Amino acid sequence: MAKLIYVTPTSLDGYISDENYDWAAPDEEGFAFINDLQRPIGVYLYGRKMYQTMAVWQTPDVIPGRTPAMLDFAQIWQTADKIVYSTSLETTSTPKTRIEREFDPRAVGDLKAQLPHDLSVGGPTLAAHAVRTGLVDEIHLFVVPIVMGGGKPVLPSNVCIKLALLDERRFANGMVYLRYQTWA
């Protein structure tokens, strides 16, 4: 059975910003590490905002300061299928992408049971739905050394989930990676 993995950057105080992700951009070392994590992902689940943020990876030529690791990530991202959950998006701007009007936990559970590769959920709003319904198997946090003082919480409120630490890593730029398995 495939796993559903929530991968996200987070400020030290547990927030992510909707408008500006510059603070969360990894350095070359971080990108290479993220690429190795993302390589086995076969399907990305996104809300509209996260999809629109990530769609730039379809055309990495427009990204200033591209590095080899960034171009590798673009190729990984382009290879995977994407499902965008949105009531307002009419069309997608990338291949291998389909729109679903509502998040259906049963359908996502069926995907996990059927697919030979893992899935990733992106964006705190959609991830909150997946966490609350017990679909998330692992949570991968990239803790960035910044305090934002507000924004969207990376993890949902009013939910209690026990976690087991599976892996951790410190990066030269101060970012810390934490990989947790969820369990009842």
Angle, helix 105-114 to helix 124-132, in steps of 10 degrees: 80
In the prediction, which pLDDT does 136 show? 98
Q: Enumerate domains of the chain plus CATH numbers.
A: 4-154 (3.40.430.10)
In the prediction, which pLDDT does 20 show? 67
- 34 within 8 A of 160, measured Cβ to Cβ: no
Q: What are phi and psi of 108, to 5 degrees?
A: -65, -40
Q: Which two tokens stand for residue 143?
A: 């803790």
Q: Which residue has the tokens 């009013």?
A: 158
| 24-65 residue pLDDT tens | 989 999 999 999 999 999 999 999 999 999 999 999 999 999
Task: For residue 136, give the nearest of 158, 161, 103, 104 by alpha carbon.
Answer: 161
* CA distance linking residue 130 with residue 137, whole number of Å: 10
Mean pLDDT of 118-136: 97
Mean pLDDT of the chain: 95
Burial class for 123, CB neighbours closer than 10 Å (0-12, 13-18, 19+) = buried
| 69-108 residue pLDDT tens | 999 999 999 999 999 999 999 999 999 999 999 999 999 9
Q: Which two tokens stand for residue 50?
A: 């996260």
Q: 94 by DSSP, 3-state: which? A: coil
